[in-house]
Amino acid sequence: MNNIKRSEITEVIYDDVMLMTETVEMDRGERVEMMVDIYESTDTERHYDLWTNTERHQPLQHTGSVSVKNRKHRAVEVCLCLLCVLLLTAVMMLCVYFTTERNQLRTHINNLTEEREQILTKYEQILNRSNNLTEEREQIFTKYKKIIEDKEHFLIMKKNLTEEREQIKNKNDELQRVLYEQDQRADNFKWIYYNFSFYYISSEYKKWSDSRRDCQQREADLVIINSKEEQEFLQKVAGNDQFWIGLSKTEGVWKWIDGTTITKGYWRNQYQSLNIDCAVMTSAGWADKSCYHLIKWICKRTILKPLIR
């Protein structure tokens, strides 16, 4: 009978082991309980065998207790090992998961950093463009302001030119009237108009100083030549005759009657006498003459200074 019970218990243990093998997918708590049930079943069989055969197996009681304890300890060790394996697996999976997440997060942060740099670069470009547009606007405004000022200046100049033209016209009419009156009183002189000036061409002969005095009485003075064009005009007027001009020598230097030193001369020849101090106009240019010679003269009266173009 005891053998039958042992076989039954053995079959139960075998069935339990097979059940544990088939349920691999069970959780850790169920596996631990299964191992404990196996060992408890074994212990039960042992106790049953000892209880039924007390008299017969009395000397082995102590040895069986040690074996049961060893099996319990082994079961606990197996459970702890399985638990450690499961924990280690879980820790490794968590490490892999967190490492992957960290890499993804780092990649995302790098992408955001690049996007921020691109945005900052675009912002700087837009800001620079805005500054350039502001400078261009200021330049355009400055140019527009200058155009307005130039326009106003042009209008003022136009007004002044109109007034000057009226003044010239009025003075010209007055001079024409004066010259006409003078022409009515004498036949031995005449006035010629050229480039905003009137030139008196005498037909009398006087010394240089007397000639200048005559010009001053006519509200004019001996002619001062300011340009090559004026020189050529007076050379044509002189023809084959000679005329005093407003050029004389002062302390060995040729100067005009207004005190300015000549910068460019139109001398007939390069030789001037040291003791001759006055100049005359001829068809070939200037010539030096003694101031006491009796020669015709040319007076000049300027209406307005020629306009600078």
Note whether residue 9 is domain-resident: yes
Q: What token pair was written down for 16? A: 């339990």
Note whether residue 143 is domain-resident: no
Give the single-character DSSP code of 261. B
Residues 102 and 199 in one domain: no
Q: Which structural domain, as residue segments, surrounds residue 199? A: 189-302
Residues 118, 129: Cα–Cα separation, whole Å: 16
Domain C-terminal end among 106, 124, 153:
106
Note whether residue 74 is domain-resident: yes
Domain C-terminal end among 106, 121, 140:
106
SS3 303: coil
SS3 299: strand
Residues 199 and 297 in one domain: yes
Note whether residue 131 is domain-resident: no
Among 229, 266, 232, CA closest to 247 = 266
Question: Is there a contact between 2 and 53 (Cβ–Cβ < 8 Å)?
Answer: yes
Residues 193 and 284 in one domain: yes
Residues with Cβ within 8 Å of 8's Cβ and at least 6 positions away in sequence, in order, are none
Note whether residue 158 is domain-resident: no
* Cα→Cα distances 195→110, 166, 168, 199, 263, Å: 84, 16, 12, 10, 21
In the predicted model, what is the mean pLDDT of residues 187-194? Answer: 70
Residues 7 and 99 in one domain: yes
Domain C-terminal end among 56, 77, 106:
106
Position 13 scores a pLDDT of 47
Residues with Cβ within 8 Å of 196's Cβ and at least 6 positions away in sequence, in order, are 168, 302, 303, 304, 305, 306
Residues 98, 107: Cα–Cα separation, whole Å: 14
Residues 199 and 100 in one domain: no
Note whether residue 276 is domain-resident: yes
Lowest model confidence (mean pLDDT) among 110-114, 151-155, 177-181, 292-296 = 177-181
Q: What token pair was written down for 164? A: 């000057």
Position 165 scores a pLDDT of 79
User: How many Å is the maximal CA-CA distance in the chain?
Assistant: 191
Note whether residue 156 is domain-resident: no
Residue 22 has pLDDT above 50, yes or no: no
pLDDT more than 70, % of the chain: 70
Number of domains in the chain: 2
Residues 195 and 97 in one domain: no
What mean pLDDT, rounded, does the chain reach?
78
Query: In which band, very low, low, confident or very high, does the pLDDT at 70 lie, cut at 50, 70 and 90?
Result: confident
Residue 63 has pLDDT above 60, yes or no: no
Note whether residue 26 is domain-resident: yes
Residues 196 and 95 in one domain: no
Q: What is the dihedral of CA 215, 221, 226, 229, to 10 degrees?
A: -20
Query: In which band, very low, low, confident or very high, does the pLDDT at 205 lie, cut at 50, 70 and 90?
Result: very high
